[in-house]
Structure 1
């Protein structure tokens, strides 16, 4: 790539990044998308709750999006992983794993997050297929089926309320002695939600589809789906070089205009919100692209 200077560099070429790029491409902004090609939903067979694309594979949606964005000749792509970010007199410098450097007036961080899998055999293989993070994205497909929730405490209790609307055949697995309050346990029992405090040994599955949960006590419970809330980390940490702040939950901190605490640096998508869905990422990216274009327009006028 001959040109190394851009108006905007977008770090992350999945749904939020591509959506921001389309808004900027249509605003005739010289834009570079840097992406390493490892979206968090690459194992998920179907994407749902995104109007006009309901039921398509994540790959179908992202491929179509990339093709449409590439039609705007001011948008360019670079395959790589950003390792370093620096502020300079004219804006920002990015350095990728290949050692290449690119420069821009503005940065959009759309790099997403990566999930930290628990040490349970079979969990990672089922993640996004039958071990699910979101009832809005996947719950309809397993409604009225035998379902589990792998969580504890307030998170498990609150999540049970949402999943209970989809199925009454529900288990809560706390993977050890529960920290649920007496009142919470009583409410679960009143709703016939089964509380299991045994430690999980492994998940038995076939090609990522759960067959049963096997516990260290020898107990086995057959399931169709399992919801789990697991820890995550930012996909890249290069933004820390710039001094971008994180929230207590580990998300990049942004204001209502998707601005970080560093002037000229914006963020959108899974790296800023717990609402992890394709539809939400697309909406945030579209809005962020418009905000960045407006800021550039005001500075250049």
Structure 2
């Protein structure tokens, strides 16, 4: 049975045998909606993989199965799914209504978060909870999926919501017709007893817990006319035929109007630049978005008179809906990008200011744009956004190389704190493309940049395609250089933190953490400052100087009376290894002894990504960063700007956003003072 919460109509599905959900559908805990926990989603497909058969076949093939206004029930003889028990029952029309909740949950009469969430369990402070989550993440530049299990101890009391599963045990002597629509008199308006104690998973018809009285069905004489079901069927069929005719007329009119508009645009539009690409892999400049929720996978798929290529942006697939946007190219092809955080059923309105037109081209040189932005991280994206606000054209080149690729979360970003940096990049990219029509993206790395005799810049991709711009923004980021210690590279970004404002809070309260006073961190003042920050998070801190008595002595001189919980260990560190399940880190010393820590803090040396600073002859700092003039980030070469990690010792997302925005502003002022290119 499926009953809409909007109306009192019930559709009866022909489920004739008992159904038990597979094990994969039960006893799972995840954040179905970010603010709270929810257990098992047997009905909606909001969090469970829809490929899992969490509903009986009749329900999974029903056209409304993913509608969030639908409550699913099973009959004629319900069997509560695995890990579910009967929370309460009631009798109506000689049949038993059964409400199943996860084991040890109770019913909540008035659901706090919608009619679908009606079971509750209470976790007390100190309780140990196992959380299982199905995640898709980026590993070695490939998308991978896996069940992730974490064991956590509750630091506060919390209510866990569970999806209630309803069903019926029909009286064998009672006849119900399988009509398309019937008045719902059998289902109670709300769970009967919120304090009912869960019973066994097989309810008894003889033991109702509600006060609803039994009312036997009365036999009524049958008229020698069409049944109500047949009449409804004829009416529905006629309505569908009429709707189909109207829909075809509307489709034909819209199609013809679109063709005429495309013809007119082709004759009159301004083409800022052309595109190269093949039918199998169209390249990334896009125009007005079509808000279609793509069900396709990778590769081209025929759609109408064209084809589309589904390009997957980096995402971390947590609970929530997917927004998939398909962008149409004038050639009839479209490219799709996916970002997280928006409901795909919610239409997104494009900016009304025309189109940033693009076309395929057999040439390898693109027309001039205002700016070439090398890098699609926070700095490059914010530079593009600033330029878009002044209607300047720009191409953003995405090499898919990001310093925080290993980080599952980023921090200190208002509204994006403790969220996936890949999701942030994907959402920002879609936001730019949907609202602004002067910015495009190229998902390929640039190999060379050179200044032309006319003062412009040419960027050449590895495939030989050249792009020309009046200005350049280098937002390439940096690569961290690992210490020459076995295991350092594996632990970097997981249990070795370069910044204790970016990471470490999640380890607060653990017994001990460590500071590696090696390389750039061997400066005593730096090591002590890191140690004092770590002391805010753990009970004690050990500074490891790794067989360097001079550094050890200098650090000891800086420690004061308030640093009693900070100690120094000068044993030579020979290896590092991640702890069990990737938590914590273990140091191994030259004498074979080991020491576990919650985390290590160390800021390694870095190098700028790409050869562009050398190719353009830019001035660099002693640390290897590009020297710029604040606030707009102009470099030593006129027309070249730098933003983000490649141009500052303070390498953080917020800093990159600030620098990228000001680079875009600086370029806009520069171009506007120079005037249009003749």
More displaced, 188-197 or 133-142? Answer: 188-197
Q: 2:393, 2:657 → 1: CA distance?
A: 20
Cα separation, 1, equivalents of 2:467 and 2:392: 16
Contact 2:584 2:599 in 1 (8 A): yes
Q: How many pairs are equivalent?
A: 301
Q: How far does the alpha carbon of each residue in 1:143-172 deviate from its partner, in whole angstroms, 9 at most, with x for none?
A: 343111112232323332333344341011
Bigger shift: 144-153 or 5-14? 144-153
**Deviation (angstroms), 1:76:** 1.0
Establish whether residue 246 from structure 1 lines up as the match of residue 588 from structure 2. no
Give the structure 1 partner of residue 477 of structure 2: 112
TM-score of the superposition, structure 1-length normalised?
0.94
Structure with the larger helix share:
1
Cα deviation 1:166-222 (Å, max 9, x = unaligned)? 434101112222432645314448523121111222222145433421112122111
Encode CA deviations 1:250-274: one digit per residue, 9 max, x unaligned.
1000011210011110000000112
Structure with the bigger RCO (C-alpha within 8 Å, sep 6+) is: 1
Q: 1:47 is matched with which residue?
A: 410
Calculate the aligned-residue CA RMSD, in Å.
1.8
- Who is 2:523 aligned against? 153
Q: Hey, what does 1:10 align to over in structure 2?
A: 373
Contact persistence 2:480–2:607 (CA under 8 A) = yes
For the pair 1:76 / 2:440, whether they are aligned, the reply is: yes
For 1:86, the equivalent position in structure 2 comes to 450
* Alpha-carbon spacing, 1:187–1:254, altered in 2? closer, same or farther (3 Å): closer
Q: Corresponding residue for 1:67?
A: 430
TM-score normalised by length of structure 2: 0.43
Structure 1 residue aligned with 2:389: 26
User: Tell me, which stretches of 5 or more residues in structure 1 are unaligned?
Assistant: none
Cα 1:35–1:4, aligned 2, differ >3 Å: closer, same or farther? Answer: farther
Shift of 1:103: 0.5
Shift of 1:123: 1.9
What SS does the aligned partner of 1:65 have? helix
Q: Which runs of 4+ in 1 moved over 6 A?
A: none
In 2, the alpha carbon distance for the partners of 1:114 and 1:236 equals 10
Change (3 A) 1:9 1:64: same
Task: State the SS of the aligned residue for 2:501.
Answer: helix
Distance change (3 Å), C-alpha of 1:258 and 1:207: farther
Radius of gyration: which is bigger? 2
Superposed counterparts of 1:146-295, under 5 Å? 146-151=512-517, 152-154=522-524, 155-180=526-551, 182=553, 184-188=555-559, 190=561, 191=563, 192-205=565-578, 206=580, 208-256=582-630, 257-295=632-670
- Contact (CA 8 Å) 2:585, 2:600: kept in 1 or not? no
Shift of 1:20: 0.6
Name structure 2 gaps, 5 residues minimum: 1-274, 276-360
Cα separation, 2, equivalents of 1:46 and 1:287? 25
